[in-house]
Structure 1
Amino acid sequence: MSYSIRRLSRNDLGAYKAIRLEALERHPEAFLSDAESFAALTDEEIEAALEKLTVFGAVLPDGRLGGINAFLRAQGAKERHRGWMIQVYVRPAHRGSGMARALCEHLIAHARAEVLQLHLGVWSENYAAIRLYEKLGFEVYGTEPRYLLVNGCFCDEHMMVRFLDKAPGEDK
């Protein structure tokens, strides 16, 4: 499978909206945002989010997106050393292809120039994602019980971190 990974811009608005809405509809337990709220956003609001975040896409030869993820840097003076990997999603047809890993590695490389540590949250029952993040050097540092309430069910979230200024597994 051929694809390239690049930062998305306002020119990618339609493709980003489609894949983000798909992610929120298919996996409501995996994201803090919900499909209905996202669908109600204006194009201008989504363009502003694309500018605030650093959103990467795995762009297929036909221009569609096979997957996305986003980087958000903390803004406070005391927390600018921290960043977040958010909005990680790969379409079902591309799962198991290495696309998710490539997107995450691309984001990690970007984050190295921005922050000292990278955080993420992952639904505690998303075992494939947890395995991938562990292979990439992330470690669980806590679990937030009942993080989300989705369709009447509570979802716990593992909080994970990777220290970019240390080798994976090295003491904090």
Structure 2
Amino acid sequence: MSYSIRPLTPEDAEAYRELRLESLRQHPEAFASTYESAVQRPDSAWRTTLEQLTFFGAFADEGRPVGLVAFDQSDGDKDKHRGWLLQMYVRPEMRGTGCAQALVETLLEHARGKVLQVHLGVWSENQPAIRLYEKTGFVTYATDPRAFYVNGRFIDDHLMVRFLDKAPGDYK
């Protein structure tokens, strides 16, 4: 299945809402937010989020949303060199097609010139996601033990970074 990637705008609020709710419902262990909380958000809140963060969406040829990723940049005086990869999700039928990697690479290209490094957190048991991030140059620098409590169990979160001013995988 082919797809295209483009920035999301507030006009894409329904597509964003659809993908975000699906991701939270299908993979509660992968996100800090919950489906129960997100489903109650008013339509205006989805548009506001699209205005506050930079989102990229993947769309199948017929226009159906199939993936998304968000970028946020720290804005403090001492940490504005850091950005964050957030809300990464690709629908199951698109996994293994290169769509997820293309979304990550699109985000990294957007981040270049804005930040020197991009951080993310990933569930320590999500091996496909960890492999994807490693393939795109991220390295694990720490594990946040018991970062989340989901469905009666603790979830550890690997913290990963991709330095944009160094070769991929060069952590030191």
1:130 is matched with: 130
Residues 171/67 of structure 1: CA separation in 2 closer, same or farther (3 Å cut):
closer
Matched, 1:24 2:24: yes
Q: CA RMSD in A?
A: 0.9
Q: Following the alignment from structure 1 to structure 2, what is the Cα–Cα distance between the partners of residues 113 and 91?
A: 30
Report the secondary structure of 1:4's partner residue.
strand
Distance in 1, matches of 2:55 and 2:134, equals 22
2:145 is aligned with 1:145: yes
Query: 2:16 touches 2:46 (CA, 8 Å); kept in 1?
Result: no
Does residue 93 of structure 2 align to residue 93 of structure 1? yes
Output the amino acid matched with 2:31. F
Q: How far 1:171 moved relative to its partner? A: 5.1
Instruction: Kindly indicate whether the alpha-carbon contact (under 8 Å) linking 2:11 and 2:47 is maintained by their aligned counterparts in 1.
Output: no
2:11 corresponds in structure 1 to 11
Aligned position for 2:81: 81
In the superposition, the TM-score normalised over structure 1's length comes to: 0.97
1:1-35 Cα deviation digits (max 9, x unpaired): 22111111111111110110000000000000100
Counterpart CA distance in 2 for 1:169 and 1:157 is 19
Q: What pairs with 1:51-62 in structure 2 (closer than 5 Å)?
A: 51-62=51-62
Q: Distance in 2 between matches of 1:72 and 1:24?
A: 19
What count of residue pairs does the alignment treat as equivalent?
Answer: 172
Matched, 1:72 2:72: yes
Work out the CA distance in 2 between the residues paired with 1:138 and 1:95: 19
What is the distance in 1 between the residues matched to 2:38 and 2:170?
39
Alpha carbons 2:82, 2:116 under 8 Å: kept: yes
Structure 1 segments, 4+ long, off by >4 Å, are: none
Note the C-alpha offset of 1:134: 0.7
* SS of the residue 1:51 aligns to: helix
Is 1:164 paired with 2:161? no
Q: Which runs of 5+ in 2 are unaligned?
A: none
- 1:37 is paired with a residue of what secondary structure? helix
Look up the match of 1:46: 46
In 2 relative to 1, CA 103–171 (structure 1 residues): closer, same or farther, beyond 3 Å? closer
- Distance in 1, matches of 2:19 and 2:169, equals 34
Cross-structure match for 1:102: 102
Question: How much has 1:44 moved relative to structure 2?
Answer: 1.1
| Residues 146 and 154, structure 2, Cα contact 8 Å, conserved in 1 | yes
Instruction: State the distance in 2 between where 1:57 and 1:34 align.
Output: 21
TM-score by length of 2: 0.97
Gaps of 5+ in 1: none
Q: In structure 2, the residue corresponding to 1:120 is in which secondary structure?
A: strand
- 1:145 match: secondary structure: strand
